[in-house]
A and B are shown apart, each in its own frame.
Chain A
Amino acid sequence: AQSVTQPDIHITVSEGASLELRCNYSYGATPYLFWYVQSPGQGLQLLLKYFSGDTLVQGIKGFEAEFKRSQSSFNLRKPSVHWSDAAEYFCAVVPTGGGNKLTFGTGTQLKVEL
């Protein structure tokens, strides 16, 4: 079955430390891949997306993600986390050629310790 998995429900990092949030997908063909961030009580903000081409994608707020076909992964990274990065992070996919209906992962709650 097609699915998106975010293995980590909660992650806590210290401010200034590096961050990696994991995302794996299970689709026959490589889907379109997205990372969104949601602050409490807010909507979702697009951090970055991958459709094709360079597998290392740069996004806003200093985030980047790397698409690895062999691992069916699209992990989100940031070299140095700021306290304001504390939020819920969602990986999402759209099947290639399957319209634009998003399927979300369950989300990862990021806590930043000062």
Chain B
Amino acid sequence: GAVVSQHPSRVICKSGTSVKIECRSLDFQATTMFWYRQFPKQSLMLMATSNEGSKATYEQGVEKDKFLINHASLTLSTLTVTSAHPEDSSFYICSASGGDRPDTQYFGPGTRLTVL
């Protein structure tokens, strides 16, 4: 149990375009989902926390207009990187918690974004 998926696993896009990444909890209802960014050989940096049906809470320094987060259902959250630039290239990981596991985050496999 506690499986989280992400799609796509890898995406390459041109500078100025927008990219959407999906995060799904497959076998539990995720009342809270988290989005992280990870730079090479570094730890995870929390970008935002989203609760189902509510606006996301962004961490300091994260542009909410650039990284749009939607958590419309208990099994799906999306991260849209708008007007992507090469500096947005990174590994994006989501996690989810909820159901009978409210205190534990389960992570997706990550999405490698490359902006040309």
Q: Which residues of A contact B (CB under 8 A)?
A: 32, 34, 36, 41-46, 49, 51, 90, 94, 100-102, 104-107, 109
> Can you give 5 contacting A-B residue pairs, CB < 8 Å?
A43-B6, A43-B110, A44-B95, A46-B107, A90-B43
- Contact: A45 with B43, CB < 8 Å? no
Contact of B105 among A42, A51, A102 (CB under 8 A): A102
Say whether chain B's binding surface is mostly helix, strand, loop, or mixed: strand
What is the bound-complex CA distance between A102 and B106, given in angstroms? 11
Q: Which residue of B lies closest to A36 (CB)?
A: B107
- The answer on a CB contact under 8 Å between A45 and B107 is yes
| Segment of B71-79, B80-88, B96-104 engaged in the interface with chain A | B96-104
Using Cβ atoms and an 8 Å threshold, which residues of chain B touch A109? Answer: 41
Contact of B43 (CB < 8 Å), options: A34, A100, A106: A106
In whole angstroms, how far apart are the Cα atoms of A45 and B6 in the complex? 14
Q: Known contacts A94-B103, A100-B102: does B109 contact A43 (CB below 8 Å)?
A: yes
Chain A proximity of B68: nearest CB distance (Å): 20
The listed residue (B32, B44, B97, B103) touching A104 by CB distance below 8 A is B44
Q: Which residues does chain A contribute within 8 Å of B102, judged by CB atoms? A: 100
A34 touches B104 (CB 8 A): yes
Q: At the interface, yes or no: B7 with Cβ under 8 Å from chain A?
A: no
